[in-house]
Amino acid sequence: MLKSISCEKLIKSPITFEAGLNAVVGADDAHNSIGKSSILMLIDFVFGGNDFPSKCDDVVRNVGDFKVGIEFEFEKPYSFIRDTGNIDQIYRVECQDYITSKEYNAFLKSKYFPKNEAASFRECVSGFFRVYQRNNYNDKRPLDIVSKENWDAIRKRTLKIFGKYGVIESLEKYKAIATKLKNDINGKCLTKSYCIF
Protein backbone atom coordinates (compact mmCIF):
# COMPACT_ATOMS: atom_id res chain seq x y z
CA MET A 1 0.00 0.00 0.00
CA LEU A 2 1.01 3.63 -0.37
CA LYS A 3 2.81 4.68 2.81
CA SER A 4 3.93 8.26 2.18
CA ILE A 5 4.38 11.11 -0.27
CA SER A 6 7.01 13.77 0.23
CA CYS A 7 7.75 16.94 -1.71
CA GLU A 8 9.72 19.76 -0.10
CA LYS A 9 8.44 22.36 -2.57
CA LEU A 10 4.80 21.67 -1.71
CA ILE A 11 4.54 20.21 1.78
CA LYS A 12 6.70 20.70 4.86
CA SER A 13 6.48 17.13 6.12
CA PRO A 14 5.58 13.90 4.29
CA ILE A 15 1.95 12.93 3.92
CA THR A 16 1.60 9.51 5.55
CA PHE A 17 -1.17 6.98 4.96
CA GLU A 18 -2.59 4.35 7.28
CA ALA A 19 -4.58 1.23 6.49
CA GLY A 20 -8.26 2.08 6.05
CA LEU A 21 -9.83 5.43 5.23
CA ASN A 22 -7.54 8.44 4.84
CA ALA A 23 -9.23 11.83 4.40
CA VAL A 24 -8.14 15.14 2.88
CA VAL A 25 -10.01 17.87 4.76
CA GLY A 26 -9.98 21.64 4.58
CA ALA A 27 -9.38 24.19 7.29
CA ASP A 28 -11.85 24.78 10.13
CA ASP A 29 -12.91 28.12 8.61
CA ALA A 30 -14.04 26.30 5.42
CA HIS A 31 -11.94 28.39 3.05
CA ASN A 32 -11.39 27.04 -0.45
CA SER A 33 -8.21 27.08 -2.54
CA ILE A 34 -6.01 25.56 0.13
CA GLY A 35 -4.81 22.62 -1.99
CA LYS A 36 -7.23 19.71 -1.41
CA SER A 37 -7.73 19.05 -5.12
CA SER A 38 -4.02 19.52 -5.79
CA ILE A 39 -3.21 16.89 -3.17
CA LEU A 40 -5.67 14.48 -4.80
CA MET A 41 -4.07 15.17 -8.18
CA LEU A 42 -0.66 14.56 -6.59
CA ILE A 43 -1.90 11.18 -5.29
CA ASP A 44 -3.08 10.38 -8.83
CA PHE A 45 0.42 11.35 -10.05
CA VAL A 46 1.92 8.95 -7.50
CA PHE A 47 -0.34 6.20 -8.87
CA GLY A 48 1.05 6.67 -12.38
CA GLY A 49 -1.23 9.41 -13.70
CA ASN A 50 0.21 12.07 -16.00
CA ASP A 51 -2.32 14.88 -15.50
CA PHE A 52 -0.72 16.77 -12.62
CA PRO A 53 1.75 18.94 -14.63
CA SER A 54 -0.94 20.05 -17.09
CA LYS A 55 -4.07 20.21 -14.91
CA CYS A 56 -2.28 21.73 -11.91
CA ASP A 57 -0.16 24.00 -14.08
CA ASP A 58 -0.71 26.87 -11.62
CA VAL A 59 1.27 24.88 -9.03
CA VAL A 60 4.11 24.18 -11.48
CA ARG A 61 4.04 27.82 -12.63
CA ASN A 62 4.46 29.08 -9.05
CA VAL A 63 7.01 26.61 -7.67
CA GLY A 64 8.58 25.19 -10.85
CA ASP A 65 9.01 21.51 -11.65
CA PHE A 66 9.54 19.37 -8.59
CA LYS A 67 10.32 15.85 -7.45
CA VAL A 68 7.89 13.70 -5.48
CA GLY A 69 9.17 11.04 -3.10
CA ILE A 70 6.94 7.96 -2.99
CA GLU A 71 7.04 5.06 -0.53
CA PHE A 72 5.06 1.85 -0.85
CA GLU A 73 4.91 -1.08 1.55
CA PHE A 74 4.09 -4.48 0.09
CA GLU A 75 6.10 -7.59 1.04
CA LYS A 76 8.90 -5.07 1.62
CA PRO A 77 9.33 -1.29 1.25
CA TYR A 78 9.74 0.25 -2.22
CA SER A 79 10.77 3.88 -2.82
CA PHE A 80 10.52 5.95 -5.99
CA ILE A 81 11.04 9.55 -7.08
CA ARG A 82 8.87 11.02 -9.82
CA ASP A 83 9.63 14.37 -11.44
CA THR A 84 6.96 16.67 -12.92
CA GLY A 85 9.54 17.85 -15.46
CA ASN A 86 10.10 14.32 -16.83
CA ILE A 87 7.00 12.25 -16.15
CA ASP A 88 8.13 9.23 -18.16
CA GLN A 89 11.25 8.52 -16.05
CA ILE A 90 10.76 7.27 -12.50
CA TYR A 91 13.75 6.76 -10.25
CA ARG A 92 13.85 3.52 -8.23
CA VAL A 93 15.67 4.36 -5.01
CA GLU A 94 16.58 0.79 -4.00
CA CYS A 95 18.00 -0.09 -7.45
CA GLN A 96 19.42 3.38 -8.13
CA ASP A 97 18.14 3.35 -11.70
CA TYR A 98 15.32 4.72 -13.83
CA ILE A 99 12.27 2.94 -15.19
CA THR A 100 9.63 4.22 -17.61
CA SER A 101 6.14 5.18 -16.51
CA LYS A 102 4.89 2.07 -18.33
CA GLU A 103 7.21 -0.14 -16.24
CA TYR A 104 6.20 1.75 -13.09
CA ASN A 105 2.51 1.15 -13.78
CA ALA A 106 3.25 -2.53 -14.51
CA PHE A 107 5.01 -2.76 -11.14
CA LEU A 108 2.03 -1.19 -9.35
CA LYS A 109 -0.37 -3.53 -11.16
CA SER A 110 1.71 -6.56 -10.12
CA LYS A 111 1.39 -5.46 -6.47
CA TYR A 112 -2.21 -4.21 -6.36
CA PHE A 113 -3.93 -6.39 -9.01
CA PRO A 114 -1.67 -9.41 -9.64
CA LYS A 115 -4.44 -11.65 -11.01
CA ASN A 116 -6.07 -9.15 -13.37
CA GLU A 117 -4.50 -9.68 -16.79
CA ALA A 118 -7.07 -7.83 -18.89
CA ALA A 119 -7.05 -4.35 -17.34
CA SER A 120 -4.14 -1.96 -17.07
CA PHE A 121 -3.29 -0.44 -13.68
CA ARG A 122 -4.57 2.96 -14.77
CA GLU A 123 -7.86 1.42 -15.93
CA CYS A 124 -8.26 -0.07 -12.46
CA VAL A 125 -7.57 3.12 -10.50
CA SER A 126 -8.43 6.13 -12.69
CA GLY A 127 -12.17 5.75 -12.26
CA PHE A 128 -11.84 6.22 -8.51
CA PHE A 129 -10.30 9.71 -8.67
CA ARG A 130 -12.99 12.38 -8.50
CA VAL A 131 -11.13 15.67 -8.69
CA TYR A 132 -12.19 19.16 -9.77
CA GLN A 133 -9.34 19.50 -12.30
CA ARG A 134 -10.40 16.34 -14.12
CA ASN A 135 -14.00 17.48 -14.57
CA ASN A 136 -15.25 13.95 -13.80
CA TYR A 137 -17.15 14.62 -10.58
CA ASN A 138 -20.69 14.44 -12.03
CA ASP A 139 -22.64 12.36 -9.49
CA LYS A 140 -24.99 11.18 -12.26
CA ARG A 141 -22.03 9.59 -14.13
CA PRO A 142 -19.98 7.93 -11.37
CA LEU A 143 -18.04 5.59 -13.67
CA ASP A 144 -16.54 8.26 -15.94
CA ILE A 145 -12.76 8.67 -15.97
CA VAL A 146 -13.17 11.76 -18.15
CA SER A 147 -16.22 13.96 -18.62
CA LYS A 148 -19.00 12.31 -20.69
CA GLU A 149 -16.96 9.18 -21.36
CA ASN A 150 -18.30 6.79 -23.98
CA TRP A 151 -20.46 4.05 -22.43
CA ASP A 152 -18.73 1.30 -24.45
CA ALA A 153 -15.38 2.27 -22.90
CA ILE A 154 -16.90 2.28 -19.39
CA ARG A 155 -18.54 -1.11 -19.90
CA LYS A 156 -15.36 -2.65 -21.30
CA ARG A 157 -13.23 -1.27 -18.44
CA THR A 158 -15.69 -2.47 -15.79
CA LEU A 159 -15.76 -5.99 -17.26
CA LYS A 160 -11.94 -6.03 -17.35
CA ILE A 161 -11.66 -4.94 -13.71
CA PHE A 162 -13.95 -7.76 -12.60
CA GLY A 163 -12.26 -10.36 -14.83
CA LYS A 164 -15.30 -10.89 -17.07
CA TYR A 165 -14.00 -9.40 -20.32
CA GLY A 166 -12.35 -12.56 -21.76
CA VAL A 167 -15.50 -13.99 -23.34
CA ILE A 168 -16.48 -10.67 -24.90
CA GLU A 169 -12.93 -10.05 -26.12
CA SER A 170 -12.98 -13.27 -28.16
CA LEU A 171 -16.41 -12.35 -29.58
CA GLU A 172 -15.08 -8.88 -30.53
CA LYS A 173 -12.17 -10.52 -32.39
CA TYR A 174 -14.59 -12.76 -34.31
CA LYS A 175 -16.76 -9.72 -35.07
CA ALA A 176 -13.73 -7.79 -36.41
CA ILE A 177 -12.77 -10.73 -38.66
CA ALA A 178 -16.37 -11.12 -39.89
CA THR A 179 -16.67 -7.37 -40.55
CA LYS A 180 -13.42 -7.37 -42.54
CA LEU A 181 -14.59 -10.38 -44.55
CA LYS A 182 -17.94 -8.72 -45.24
CA ASN A 183 -16.19 -5.51 -46.37
CA ASP A 184 -13.85 -7.53 -48.59
CA ILE A 185 -16.82 -9.29 -50.18
CA ASN A 186 -18.61 -5.99 -50.72
CA GLY A 187 -15.48 -4.57 -52.35
CA LYS A 188 -14.97 -1.79 -49.81
CA CYS A 189 -11.47 -2.90 -48.82
CA LEU A 190 -10.32 -4.05 -52.27
CA THR A 191 -7.80 -2.06 -54.27
CA LYS A 192 -8.18 -1.71 -58.05
CA SER A 193 -5.66 -4.46 -58.66
CA TYR A 194 -7.91 -6.96 -56.87
CA CYS A 195 -11.22 -5.87 -58.41
CA ILE A 196 -12.66 -8.46 -60.80
CA PHE A 197 -15.71 -6.51 -61.96
9-19 pLDDT tens trace: 888 889 999 98
What are the contacts of 150-157 at 24+ separation with CB within 8 A? Answer: 157/119, 157/123, 157/127
pLDDT top residue among 38 and 74 = 74
- Write down the pLDDT at residue 35: 74
pLDDT band at residue 36 under the 50/70/90 scheme: confident
- Write down the pLDDT at residue 195: 47
Residue 59 lies in a domain: yes
Residue 145 lies in a domain: no
* Whole-angstrom distance, CA of residue 55 vs CA of residue 69: 20
Judged against a pLDDT cut of 60, whether residue 189 lies above it is answered with: no
- Write down the pLDDT at residue 97: 96
DSSP-assigned beta bridge partners for residue 99: 90
Judged against a pLDDT cut of 60, whether residue 137 lies above it is answered with: yes
Mean pLDDT of 107-121: 89
Residue 169 lies in a domain: no
State the total domains in the chain.
Answer: 1
Residue 65 lies in a domain: yes
pLDDT band at residue 105 under the 50/70/90 scheme: very high
Whether 132 and 38 have beta carbons less than 8 Å apart is answered as no
Range of the domain at 60: 2-115
Judged against a pLDDT cut of 70, whether residue 157 lies above it is answered with: yes
Residue 133 lies in a domain: no
Residue 21 lies in a domain: yes
pLDDT band at residue 52 under the 50/70/90 scheme: confident
Quote the mean pLDDT of the chain. 84
Whether 98 and 91 have beta carbons less than 8 Å apart is answered as yes
Residue 132 lies in a domain: no
CATH classification of the domain holding 10: 3.40.50.300
pLDDT band at residue 95 under the 50/70/90 scheme: very high
Residue 131 lies in a domain: no
